[in-house]
Structure 1
Amino acid sequence: MIVPSIFALAAFAKTASAAAAASTGFTAPAPAPTSESPFYVGPANNTITNTPIVPGKVFDRFIQIWLENTDFDSAASQPVFQSLAAEGITLTGYYGVTHPSEPNYLAAVGGDFFGLAEDSLEYIPTNMSTVVDLLDQKNISWATYQENMPTDAYEGYNFTNSDNYTYYVRKHNPLVIYESVANISTRAARIRNFNDFAVDVGNDSLSQWIFITPNLRDDGHDTTVGYAASWLTYWLLPLLNDTSFNTNSTLILLTFDENETYTIGNNVFSILLGGVIPAAMKNTTDPTFYTHYSTLSTVENNWDLGNLGRQDTNKTVANVFEIVANITSYQNNNLTGSSASLPQLNITGTIPGTVEP
C-alpha cells in the first residue's frame, strides 16, 4: 500500500497542471502516462517478460528518472520539485560526474565515462560490462524507457518526428551505447520506448531496475526547468499513486545529468521518492556526498551484485544512499556536498580514456 500522504500530490497535479501548461507552453504527449500515443512514434513491442522478483535488502524496484542541464537552485525554486521534496528525501550533496551530457549517462550504467568529453556517436565495445551484466547474473529484471525512440534499441544518433522536431537523442540512452547490451537481441528488446512503458505499466509488468529518459523538451534540455516541471506534473505525479509503478518496496531517484553552469561545482537537485521511503524520512534532506556512481553502488549493495571494478568501487565518489547504507551497515565516507575536499566533477576537457576523441 502506498503511503497515504503521496495522494496529496494527485490533488496538486490537478490544480497545477493548467497553470504550468500556460506558463511554460507544455503540451501533454498522451492522455495519461499510461496511455499509448502516436506522438511516441514507435509501437509497443508486447509486454515485457520478467524473471520472478528478487528481493533486495531495502528495495525491490529501483527507478531512475533523468532530467537535463539545470543548476540546483533553479530546480529547487520550482513548486513541483518543492512538493515532491515534501514526499521524499532531497539529496543536497548529489553531483554529476563531468560535462557534457553523454559521459554522465555512460557513467551511471558503466561505472566510468572513459575519457569522453563530448556528445558524440559512440559504440562502447562488447568487452565493456555494465550494470546489466550484474543484474543478469542475479536474474534481476531490468529495462530502460526512452521517450520518442522510434523502435526498441534504435541505434541511430537521433530521431526526428513528423513535425520536424528532433525529440529523441542517442546520447541520453546509455544502455544502447554499450554494444554488450545493444548487440544481444534479448537485451536489446529491453531498451524500450514510451508506448512500451504504457503497456508494461498497464499490465503490471515493470522490471526491477528501470532507467527513464524523457525527450529533449520534456527533460528541459531544449526548453526550461519549468517545462520539465510541467512534464513531471503530468507524468510522474499520477504514477506515484499507481501501484503498478510505485509499490511499497520501490525506490525512485529523480535527478539531473549535470548542472547548467560549468564554472561551479556540478551539484544537481536530486530527490529519493517511492513507497519505500518511511514517513519519518519524508520532507528531509541528506547532505551526504553522492554522484551518479552512487546509483550503481547503491544497487550493488541492495542486491549483493558485486561490482564493475570501476568508479562504482571508488570510496570517494560512490557513497551508497544512506537510506540503504543505514540498513545494510555499509560504511560511507564522511564527505558531504559542502566538504572542501571534493574531487573535481565539472571537467570540460578530454582526459585519457577508452573513448576519448
Structure 2
Amino acid sequence: MLRSLLVFGVICASSVPRALAATAWRFSGPATSPTEQTGNYTGFSNNTLQDTHVVKGKAFNRFIQIWLENTDFEDAGSTPAWENLAKRGLLLSSYHSLTHPSEPSYIASVGGDFWGLHNDDYYHIPENVSTVIDLLEEKNISWATYQENMPTDAFYGYSHSSTNYLNSSAVDYPFYMRKHNPLEIYDSVSQNPARQGRIRNFNDFANDVVNGSLSQWIFVTPNMVNDAHDTTTDFCADFLEYWLYPLLDDDRFNSDGTIIVLTFDENETYAKQNRVYTLVLGKGLPRHLVGKTDDTFYTHYSLLSTVEANWGLKNLGRNDVNKTMSNVFDFVAKKSGYKNVHVPEEKRPQLNVTGVFAGPLNPQMYLPFYAPEDLQIKGAGGQGVYVADSLDTSAKYSTLGDAQNLTTTPYPWIVEEES
C-alpha cells in the first residue's frame, strides 16, 4: 500500500449550523471592492506572493477556476447574471460533475480521483499522493488557492465561524468550510511548509492583485453564502456582479492569455445526470468563441487534462488520463494537438451515483491508497506519469484484493474531533 509519512493531528471540528432560510439572506459585499482588504474577514494580509515569472502555454498563460455550489444547469442558465456572462464567454453545455456531495468532486479536480469518498467528513490524504501541484511545480508554474473567510493561510480546521457581516445582530456564521478547499485535504500540499503560504484567503487575494503578482494556476472558492450553498442562485449572482465583473475589466487579474472557468461543484437534483453550468471567460479565450456554445462532453477531470495539455505537463495516471472522462477544452486541444473523444449522450457514464465506489476514503468499502495502474501512460500533455519518490509503485488497484468494512475499527484517513 502507499506509505503515509505523516501522523495526523487531532483538530477540533465545530458543529456547523445550516442557513435559517434562503430568503433570510440579502447580499452585501464584504469589502468596498474585490481588491480591497476588509475587517469582515479574519485578519489582514501581511504578505504578498511574488509570482511575476510567466511560463507561456500553448493556449493560455493563466488558468483561474472559480467554484460555486449545488445548482441545476437549467436554474443557472435561466438567471440574468449568467445569461449576461455567457455573452462574454463560452458556454460548456455538456460539462459534468463527478458524484455527490461536494467534497469528492473538489478533491478529484486537483488529484484525479475521489478515492471512493461519498460524504463531506473531515479527511486527509497521505503526502505521497500527488496532485496537480506536483505537475505545475515541476515546470516552474506558479499556483495559489484563495478561500474566502478562511482565517489564516493553510488553516487546517474543519470550518471557521466569523462575524456575520450580513447581519450585525446575528451570531458568528460558518462562512468557511474545509470541504471546499481541496488542496488543504492533500497532505502533500497542506503539510509542506514551502506550499502552505499558497493556501490563501481573500484578503491575501486583494493584496496579491494590487501587488500585480497573481499566480498562473489559481483555484477560488467563495464563502458558503456567496457560492450559493446556503443561499440562492440569485444571491450568488449578486456576488459575481460585486466580485467577478470588475475583475474581468482589471488587467492585473484578467490579463492577456488568461482563462477563467466559472463552474459549479455539482447539481442540486441528485436524480438527474450531474450536468453543471460552466462558462469559460477571460482575455485568453479566442474572440470567435465569445458568446458561443461548446457541446463537447467534459467533466471536472477536464480541468486537469486541459492544464496538462496547455503546458505539456506530466499526468497523475488517474482519471486525468481516462479519455472518456477527461476531454481537453476544445480550443486548447486544437492548439496543443490533442485529439478529444466523442462521447454520445447514451454512452456517458452516470455521474450522479453516490457511495458505490470502493476506495481508501470509503470506510464501508475500504481499499488502501493505490498507485497508478499504468506508469507509462501518456496524458494530454504528451508526457508520462508523475511518480513521487515515496510512492510504492507495486500497490495497484488491481492487486489490492477485496474491499474491507472498517466502520467498526480505527479508520486511518479521518481526522477525529476533540471530545
Structure 1 and Structure 2 fold alike (TM over 0.5): yes
Are the equivalent residues in 1 in contact too, given 2:69–2:229 (CA < 8 A)? yes
Q: 1:279 aligns with which of 282, 287, 303?
A: 287
> Cα–Cα, structure 1 residues 142 and 174, in superposed 2: closer, same or farther, change >3 Å?
same
Are the equivalent residues in 2 in contact too, given 1:153–1:182 (CA < 8 A)? yes
- Unaligned 5+ runs, structure 2: 1-22, 165-171, 364-419
Are the equivalent residues in 1 in contact too, given 2:184–2:190 (CA < 8 A)? yes
The equivalent residue for 1:145 is: 146
> Cα–Cα, structure 1 residues 162 and 25, in superposed 2: closer, same or farther, change >3 Å?
closer
The equivalent residue for 2:410 is: none
1:198-229 CA-to-partner distances (Å, cap 9, x unmatched) read 00001110000000000000000000011111
1:157-306 alignment runs, 5 A limit: 157-163=158-164, 164-306=172-314
Q: CA deviation at 1:280?
A: 1.5
- Unaligned 5+ runs, structure 1: 1-21
The equivalent residue for 1:348 is: 354
- Structure of larger gyration radius: 2
Letter in 2 for 1:190: R
Secondary structure of the residue aligned to 1:340 is helix
Letter in 1 for 2:326: A
1:9-24 alignment runs, 5 A limit: none
Greater alpha carbon shift after TM alignment, 89-98 vs 275-284: 275-284
CA distance in 2, matches of 1:206, 1:196: 10
Letter in 2 for 1:253: V
User: Alignment RMSD, CA only?
Assistant: 1.3
CA distance in 1, matches of 2:350, 2:294: 21
Secondary structure of the residue aligned to 1:39 is coil
1:246-277 CA-to-partner distances (Å, cap 9, x unmatched) read 01100000000000000000000000000011
Letter in 2 for 1:157: Y
CA distance in 1, matches of 2:320, 2:63: 17
TM-score (norm 1): 0.92
Bigger relative contact order, structure 1 or 2 (CA pairs below 8 A, ≥6 apart) = 1
Are the equivalent residues in 2 in contact too, given 1:248–1:275 (CA < 8 A)? yes
The equivalent residue for 2:35 is: 34
Are the equivalent residues in 2 in contact too, given 1:315–1:333 (CA < 8 A)? yes
1:105-124 alignment runs, 5 A limit: 105-124=106-125
Letter in 2 for 1:191: I
TM-score (norm 2): 0.78
Q: CA deviation at 1:300?
A: 0.3
> Cα–Cα, structure 1 residues 323 and 42, in superposed 2: closer, same or farther, change >3 Å?
farther
Q: CA deviation at 1:23?
A: 11
Are the equivalent residues in 1 in contact too, given 2:52–2:213 (CA < 8 A)? no
Are the equivalent residues in 2 in contact too, given 1:63–1:212 (CA < 8 A)? yes
Letter in 2 for 1:312: D
1:39-50 alignment runs, 5 A limit: 39-50=40-51
CA distance in 2, matches of 1:142, 1:217: 25
CA distance in 2, matches of 1:45, 1:309: 38
CA distance in 1, matches of 2:87, 2:331: 16
Larger helix proportion, structure 1 or 2? 1
Are the equivalent residues in 1 in contact too, given 2:52–2:214 (CA < 8 A)? no
Secondary structure of the residue aligned to 2:351 is coil
Moved segments of 4+, more than 2 Å: none
Greater alpha carbon shift after TM alignment, 325-334 vs 212-221: 325-334
CA distance in 2, matches of 1:227, 1:237: 15
Secondary structure of the residue aligned to 1:38 is coil
Letter in 1 for 2:354: T
Secondary structure of the residue aligned to 1:81 is helix
Letter in 2 for 1:188: Q
